[in-house]
Structure 1
Amino acid sequence: MQDFRTETFLDVCDTLSYTRTAQRLNITQPAVSQHISHLEAVYGTKLFSYSNRRLSLTEAGEVLRDALTVMAHDERLVKERIAALSGKRRTIGFGATMTAGEYVIARPLARFLQQRPDLQVKVVASGTDDLLALLHEGVLDCALVEGFFDKGYYDWEVYCTEQLVAVCAPGCRLAEEPQRLEGLLGEHLIVREPGSGTRAVLEHALAARNLSLDGFARTTEVTSISIIKALVESGYGIAFLYESAVRAECTAGTLRAIELDGPAIEHDMTFIWLRGSLFEREFRGLVHELAVCAGEV
């Protein structure tokens, strides 16, 4: 079970300041120092180092932080499971990146929840980096991400593989014949913001060809997938979006896919949760149930 000293330690990991932690926890700064010293004595090593007026975690501190973060998260889930025994609904903190949330998981999730009246879900849609932070803060239990993540810190399971496609307006010459990726650099590119999984996958694919976003004639950053599609439909530029996000528009003819020479740009959409969680089996079961629901939609 977590106690006040581990709470202090995790807060210092977040603030990297004894003073700010004391203010946030409404305790004195000497108390913060005492709590950290106690843990260092228990584990027989320094957890923080101080250099150039900056506090930082030692390697041992990072190990302890990761372990206690998982423990704190699992303790909350245990409390909710116990409360559920008396009839209270269990809550799942569920995150999804924008494309994954709107075009991949929304309908399967709705079907899943219809079958599970014992659950209530808190859904957060945001960029991959934001979702990773919320997992570590304990706000989320698991997340479906399209971006890249460090597999050393999370347990994970691939949900599906999506293709990133280039799209343009109807009647655009680019859709008339296959194009080389390099041949699109003279175009105006409408792209998601930094931190977006879609953008990260595109940047990775470009880098594999020694290209970058800077190589395009012009770029416009837009945070909304719907706005990007509307701009492309009007002939304002081209965009790279996941096939699931533009399937309806390409079928209706309001967008055209640009056929690219070479291998398709593909990327996994992956469920992740904190590595070492006692509830790993439950999270994997959730992924399976959502996949079944996706097949029924």
Structure 2
Amino acid sequence: MLDFRMDTFLAVCQYMNYTRAAEALNITQPAVSQHIRWLEEQYEAPLFTYANKRLSLTREGELLRSMALTVKHDEQMLRRRLHDPGPGAHRLVFGVTPTVGMSLIPEPLARYHRLYPDAPISIRVSNTESLCAALDQGELDFAIVEGYFCKSDYDSLLYRREPYLAVCGAEYQFEREPKVLSDLLGETLVVREPGSGNREIIRRALSRENRAVEDFRSVIQVSDMNVLKKLLLLGCGVGFLYQAAAQPQLGQGLLRAIPLEDFQESHDITFLWRKGSVFAQRYRQLFELLSPQDIEGESCAAGD
């Protein structure tokens, strides 16, 4: 169990403001300062610096934050395991991003359920940013994400390397058939919200050409992948999807891929958990059990 002063430290890390941390914890600001001083004395290192009216973590503070989040995560995992109905319960509490939830995890999860029909299973579907925050708070044991994450905070294995396609409805009409990415800027872009892997991949591809999402004629932003696909099917614009997510509609002739000479993207979908977790071996076992049977590539540790 973490010392209560570590909770104060994590609150300051979250808000980067002593006053807001005090309000969140319902304690006084002097108490927050006292807790931070106590930790700095215990670890014989400064945890924060203050410059230009801005609070920042020191290198030592970053290390302590990462360790504290992992301990907090593992404690919540332990609590869940202690309340399992039996040693063979094989409980799953994890998160997935929408593409993974819609296209990749159902079959592996069905196999898992056949192996352990009595296992309690809880799945959260959200964007990468939200899932990483839930991991940090110990609300999830692991996550399978399509977006970018801080590799220094998590251990990971490559779940799948998936092609990324520009797509539109089968009957969508262009004034001039696009050949390169910039040719699409005159269209409406249908895209996921900030914090999602779907948006981040296209944002990075555009940034290489000094372009931005906002450079499209107009943008329709949605938080649900099924709604995004429905809008594309109805001819509302162009979008970018993983091949696995688009394949059913491509195969039925309802969507069509837009071949672009300068856009041949693929992206790693990653199985991750808090770095340094004492349950790492358990997560590696779950990775094997929940991996797609046609997975491409090899697993890799965080930082590879």
- Same-fold status (TM-score > 0.5): yes
AA of the residue aligned to 1:170: A
* Residue 269 of structure 2 is aligned to residue 269 of structure 1: yes
Rounded to whole Å, the distance in 1 between the matches of 2:253 and 2:119 is: 40
AA of the residue aligned to 2:233: E
Rounded to whole Å, the distance in 1 between the matches of 2:26 and 2:241 is: 47
Structure 1 position 58, deviation (Å): 3.1
Is the contact made by 2:97 and 2:144 (CA closer than 8 Å) also made in structure 1? yes
AA of the residue aligned to 2:111: R
**Residue 6 of structure 1 aligns with which residue?**
6
Structure 1 position 263, deviation (Å): 5.6
Of 164-173 and 120-129, the range deviating more from structure 2: 164-173
TM-score normalised to structure 2 length? 0.83
Is the contact made by 1:99 and 1:245 (CA closer than 8 Å) also made in structure 2? yes
Rounded to whole Å, the distance in 2 between the matches of 1:194 and 1:227 is: 16
Deviations 1:239-263 (A, max 9, x none): 1111122211121222222222256
AA of the residue aligned to 2:159: Y
Deviations 1:143-166 (A, max 9, x none): 111111121221111101111112
Deviations 1:17-76 (A, max 9, x none): 555555555556555444333322211123234556665433322211111111122233
AA of the residue aligned to 1:127: N
TM-score normalised to structure 1 length? 0.85
**Residue 101 of structure 1 aligns with which residue?**
101
Structure 1 residue runs of 5 or longer lacking an equivalent are: none
Is the contact made by 1:177 and 1:259 (CA closer than 8 Å) also made in structure 2? no
**Residue 78 of structure 2 aligns with which residue?**
78
Identity of aligned residues (%): 42
**Residue 298 of structure 2 aligns with which residue?**
none
**Residue 151 of structure 2 aligns with which residue?**
151
Rounded to whole Å, the distance in 2 between the matches of 1:138 and 1:294 is: 31
Is the contact made by 1:164 and 1:243 (CA closer than 8 Å) also made in structure 2? yes
Rounded to whole Å, the distance in 2 between the matches of 1:51 and 1:213 is: 33
Is the contact made by 2:49 and 2:55 (CA closer than 8 Å) also made in structure 1? yes
Map 1:146-295 to 2 at 5 A: 146-173=146-173, 179-262=179-262, 264-291=264-291
AA of the residue aligned to 2:138: G
Check 1:255–1:6 CA distance in 2 against 1; reply closer, same or farther (3 A cut).
same
Is the contact made by 1:112 and 1:293 (CA closer than 8 Å) also made in structure 2? no
Map 1:24-103 to 2 at 5 A: 24-25=24-25, 31-50=31-50, 55-84=55-84, 89=89, 91-103=91-103
Of 16-25 and 60-69, the range deviating more from structure 2: 16-25
Deviations 1:152-198 (A, max 9, x none): 22111110111111222223456x97832232222222222221111
AA of the residue aligned to 2:115: Q
AA of the residue aligned to 2:128: T
Of 275-284 and 54-63, the range deviating more from structure 2: 54-63
Deviations 1:95-149 (A, max 9, x none): 1111121121133223313322463232111111111111111111211111111
Check 1:261–1:70 CA distance in 2 against 1; reply closer, same or farther (3 A cut).
same
Is the contact made by 2:47 and 2:61 (CA closer than 8 Å) also made in structure 1? yes
Rounded to whole Å, the distance in 2 between the matches of 1:26 and 1:184 is: 51
**Residue 114 of structure 1 aligns with which residue?**
114
Of 84-93 and 236-245, the range deviating more from structure 2: 84-93
SS at match of 2:120: strand
Rounded to whole Å, the distance in 1 between the matches of 2:292 and 2:145 is: 19
AA of the residue aligned to 1:75: E
Is the contact made by 1:96 and 1:144 (CA closer than 8 Å) also made in structure 2? yes
Is the contact made by 2:15 and 2:21 (CA closer than 8 Å) also made in structure 1? yes
Greater percentage in helix: 1
Measured on the aligned residues, the alpha-carbon RMSD in Å equals 2.9
Task: Count matched residues.
Answer: 294
Check 1:288–1:19 CA distance in 2 against 1; reply closer, same or farther (3 A cut).
same
